[in-house]
Amino acid sequence: MKIIKAEELHVEEALKLAMGEYKNECRQIKQLPVIDATDQLRNIITGLFRNNYGLVAMYEEEMAGYLAFTGPIKGFFGTCQGAYSPLGGSAFSGYDRDRLCSELVEAGMEQLLKNAGVTSVALTRYADDPLVDRSLVLNGFGIRCSDAVMDLNEFETSGTYNGDLIITELIGGEKRRILDLRYGLVKHMSGSPVFYPTDIDRFMRDFSKEQSRIFAALKEEVVIGYLSIQDEGETFISETDSMKNICGAFVKEEYRGQHVADDLLAYVCNVCKKEGISYLGVDCETLNPNALRFWGKFFKNYTYSYHRRIDERIVSYDSYLRKEWISHL
């Protein structure tokens, strides 16, 4: 097997591998929408291969796998240079897929470090791939987030838990009524065990431009929880017209344990079903145990995103090593 630089001439072979992985995940996760993802995946792979941070593994003149990244990205999970491989940005074939993954990761990270000084690397993979999952973990990656899906045709609600709760969609300027809850969510995400900081200036600018739909739970005219949805998601699968994606949710601490989030989700699911939407998606930090437990009751994971942070001192370590080693001889 040899590993070579990915070129546009490799796109169609890579596409076959990517389609094979997607179809395999659809067979395992029945909640996933079965769509013709050919165009989406071809566009993803073509863009990544043009970015010059992609590698393909060839075995007897056939492609065995590939791995490609966007980047470099400034300030990627920290203050360092980063790179990201989205869903569809990698595929591995054969019975020895764990070894193939490991070799491509090794070569890919070396390419990123030497050519772009990248020390923060992330990639999204299908959730039901134990060989590749184990390979990534053994290569120093940890899971930090996931995408999940619900088939709304299978969703049934038995009514609301809270008869005195009013749930409504906030329109226009009314959306600002959830700002204190958004602050609560940002504060929660910055604490243990998530430790995810937010750029507040950018956050507030983006909030005023948001096109998401916001549904609020009110008790005596006070907003005590919200859930928001939008068309865009984190993967090519979540971009399908038949899916909406949850992009935020929070319930005030003093009202937790009273099924407020359950009522909000049920309301949003019913709204989506009435509007002809078949699927609801959500992405959450797996580092956030509250979110993981709640979404896990209703949604099925279909991706995990893996991340590895390399010690930044390694960027110039080769020249340092040669100089210092010789000086001590």
CATH code for the domain defined by 2-148+307-320: 3.40.630.30
Residues 130, 134, 135, CA angle at the centre, nearest 5°?
115
What's the rounded Cα separation, in Å, for the pair 241 and 19? 19
Round to whole Å and give the CA distance between 121 and 309. Answer: 6
pLDDT < 70 positions in the chain: 157-160, 329
Question: What Å distances lie between residue 55 and 11, 40, 304, CA to CA?
Answer: 11, 20, 21
Q: How far apart are CA 226 and CA 215, in angstroms?
A: 6
Strand 300-309 versus strand 166-170 pairing type: unpaired
CA distance 185 to 320: 44
The per-residue pLDDT for 204 is 83
Contact (Cβ atoms closer than 8 angstroms) between residue 48 and residue 40 = no
The first and second tokens of residue 233, run together, are 């998601």
Residues counted in the chain = 329
**pLDDT at residue 157, rounded to an integer:** 66
- Topology agreement, domain 2-148+307-320 and domain 156-297: yes
Between CA 266 and CA 262 the distance in angstroms is: 6
Each residue of 40-55: pLDDT tens digit?
A: 999 999 999 999 999 9
Read off the tokens for 154: 């299978």
Angstrom distance (rounded) from CA 302 to CA 28? 9
Entry pTM = 0.92
At the topology level of CATH, where does 156-297 sit? Aminopeptidase (3.40.630)
Cross-strand pairs, 305: 124, 145
Quick: pLDDT tens for 164-193: 899 999 999 999 999 999 999 999 999 999
Q: What letter represents residue 115's amino acid?
A: N
Whether the Cβ atoms of residue 217 and residue 224 lie closer than 8 Å to each other: yes
- Taken in order 47, 48, 49, 52, is the CA torsion positive or negative? positive
Distances (CA, A) of 212 to 107, 231, 306, 315: 40, 8, 27, 40
Q: Residue 203 and residue 52: Cα distance in Å, rounded?
A: 32
Q: Where are the domains of the chain?
A: 2-148+307-320, 156-297
Encoded tokens for 110: 């070396």
Q: For the chain, report the end-to-end CA distance as a whole number of angstroms.
A: 39
